[in-house]
Structure 1
Amino acid sequence: MISERDVLVSATPSARDRKRRLGRQQLWIWVLLAPTVLLYGTYTMYPIIASYWYSFVEWNGFTAEKTWVGLQNYRDVFADDLFWNSFKITILFMVVVVPFKVILTLLLALLLNSPKLPFSTFFRTAYFLPVVTTTAIVGVVMQFVFDPASGPVNQMLMKLGVIDAGVSFLGDSTTALWTAAGVYVWKWFGITMILWLAALQTVPDEVYEAARIDGAGAWQLLRRITLPLLKPFLIIITLLSFESALKVFDLMLTMTGGGPFYATEVVEIYIYRTAFSATVPQLGLASAAAVLFGLFVCAVGLFQLIGIRSAQKARQAQ
């Protein structure tokens, strides 16, 4: 006669069955991950690793011959005034756009977060729409928008009497970088705005209610409650904005191509021009510049990590 215990033992999977089932699950995980791992390794990891090797050789990218030159490419990069010019423009662009983007989006998020504002959902969607637009398309369209002869920006300014003749915003070395900066802020405005809106949702309504009972006005609520509680988010959002401001290759290439007279040539365009657009391509020199720029980006990422940890500690201390 079969006892209840025997039935339970027979119904319980053995250790071998559990191990076999776990093995099948892990196999399916790797099968499903294989395309991503293959593509990521081929188009991301391999180029990164290969660029370190290319930075030590002299190669034009067309011949099979690669001449080992050691650190000579790095010496040439450090001695190239155009590299330092592109590095200066990259830093200047980053320092200019980040405060504008962070402060303006904060002000807009405070406005859109107000329950008294009608059509707030519509405005949030409208400000976020440029984010989902392809950056290369934005760059091409902006060439027509800022066209000195028939562009709507110049036409409007002339009708308002601000200017007498069309201004080549993208063709003048004194205005090209600032025009590109304005387009960049407009393009990525929505992302930072959403981050601020998410941060504002973390402020408890009970705190506002208690402050209102004590007689606090709108300005006091903003100064004494909202802004202090947003300080940890300010660190994170600012660091994220600094890092994203380094990735402007597609926008700059389609809008200005790095010109005029290298006025908008950020480091990414310098690398591209040296590797592919020069009369004699120099992949070794371009790879050395890419490695140095990559180390700079890693340093920014390190500051980001330190800032996030500081923000977490500040948040826990509140």
Structure 2
Amino acid sequence: MLPQTIMYLVFTLWPILASYYFSFFNWDGIGWPSRFNGIANYLEVVKDPYFWNAFKNSFIYTFFVVIIVVPCSLVLALILNSKMLRMKVLFRTLFFVPVVLTMAIIGIVMNVMFANEGFINKLLLSMGMIDSAVPWLTDSTLAMMTLILVGVWKGFGIKVIYWLAGLQTLPADLFEAAKIDGANKWQEFRYITVPLLIPFLVIITFFQTVWSLNVFDLVKTFTNGGPMFATDVVPLYIYRYAFEGGTLPRMGFASAAGIFYGFATMFLSIMLGLLVKKFGVRKSHA
């Protein structure tokens, strides 16, 4: 356990604690911070409209990815779990392929595919579905929609696997008893499958929300926050000030922004965590 403990202390615990300390300094990341400025960084974060724009975009992205991925992945899992479906392993593999690809690679590839002269526009033009190239990445509304679409595609496969794991834990005797009582497929789904899958629903929603709120590499390589900050998210905002701050980075300000956003996401995570605690453990009934 010693190597793992050392890695945790150096690369996880220390950066977290150091961020709190650095956030009270006007520091460019060179040497040890010495220019103490109190809560000035926090006040600047609160007053910065670009931060609130990134804050809004982070929650817009998270909201739509979660409400699309969670229910749709359940529907697909139900189809893949059907006894009548053939070649289940092939379909499961196809949907799981995006999971093994890194976000950065996906962002780079999708940036090329959704460019004005990219594969997507060429395909749609050849099929006669559009008359001119669609500005997927240069229109503010379309850029966010495209980013959400790619985020859904990336996170879809792993959620299907989670749902399949949940479906395979459901007791078969309950469905057999329901069939004997004359229940149809919809009644089985509504009164047996859904109630028993509530713990999985809460946990899957929790994980998807946390992952979506912390999206960075996909946005960085896909849209880089553009056009005109329409797809800017808080992790990218923090990165920009920490490592791309013009002549000198503003590590203290970036730390303050990260902590502010961290408290906001922590509050949401606690709320979701309470749901996990309440519904995450399936209670047995006598």
**TM-score, L = length of structure 1:** 0.85
Q: Any idea what the Cα deviations from partners look like across 1:66-117, whole Å, max 9, x if unmatched?
A: 3100111100000000011110001111111101000110000000011110
Query: Any gaps of 5 or more consecutive residues in structure 1?
Result: 1-32
SS in 2 for 1:69: coil
Which residue is equivalent to 1:121? 89
- The Cα of 1:232 is off from its aligned counterpart by 2.4
Name the counterpart of 1:200. Answer: 167
Separation in structure 1 between the aligned mates of residue 96 and residue 270 of structure 2, nearest angstrom? 29
Deviation at 1:317, TM superposition (A): 5.4
2:141 alignment partner, SS class: coil
> Is the counterpart of residue 177 in structure 1 residue 172 in structure 2?
no
**2:43 matches 1:75:** yes
Q: Which residue of structure 1 lines up, in the alignment, with residue 235 of structure 2?
A: 268
Specify which of 226, 251, 270 is matched with residue 283 of structure 1: 251
1:235 and 2:202 aligned: yes
Deviation, 1:313, is: 5.9
Q: Deviations over 1:110-166 (max 9, x none)?
A: 0001111001111111101110111111110111111211x2211121122221111
Correspondence for 1:303 among 252, 265, 271: 271
CA distance in 1, matches of 2:35, 2:274: 41
Q: How many residues align?
A: 285
Residue 64 of structure 1, CA deviation: 4.9
Aligned to 1:152: 119
The alpha-carbon distance between structure 1 residues 293 and 65, as it changes in their structure 2 partners (threshold 3 A), is closer
Q: What root-mean-square deviation, in Å, do the aligned CA atoms of Structure 1 and Structure 2 show? A: 1.6
Is 2:22 aligned against 1:43?
no
Deviation at 1:63, TM superposition (A): 5.3
How far, CA to CA, are the matches of 1:103 and 1:66 in structure 2?
A: 51
Comparing 135-144 with 290-299, which one deviates more in the overlay? 290-299
Alpha carbons of 1:226 and 1:64: their partners in 2 closer, same or farther (altered >3 Å)?
Answer: closer
1:240/1:304 contact within 8 Å kept: no
Is 1:245 aligned with 2:212?
yes
Larger Rg: 1
Distance change (3 Å), C-alpha of 1:69 and 1:110:
same
Q: In structure 2, what is the equivalent of residue 107 of structure 1?
A: 75
Classify the secondary structure of the residue corresponding to 2:130: coil
Q: Residue 166 of structure 1 aligns with which residue?
A: 133
Verify: 1:135 aligned to 2:135, yes or no.
no
1:257 is matched with: 224
Q: Partners in 1 of 2:201 and 2:74 — Cα distance? A: 9
Structure 2 equivalent of residue 97 of structure 1: 65
C-alpha separation in 1, matches of 2:31 and 2:211? 35
C-alpha distance in structure 1 between counterparts of 2:268 and 2:200, whole Å = 17
Give the distance between the partners of 1:51 and 1:313, measured in 2 at CA: 35
- Identity %, equivalent residues: 43
1:281-305 CA distances to partner (integer Å, 9 max, x unpaired)? 2111110001111112222321232
Which deviations, in whole Å up to 9, do the C-alpha atoms of 1:245-300 show, x marking residues without a partner?
11210100010111111111100000001111121421111100011111122223
TM-score normalized by structure 2? 0.95
> CA 1:38 to 1:232, structure 2 compared with 1: closer, same or farther past 3 Å?
closer
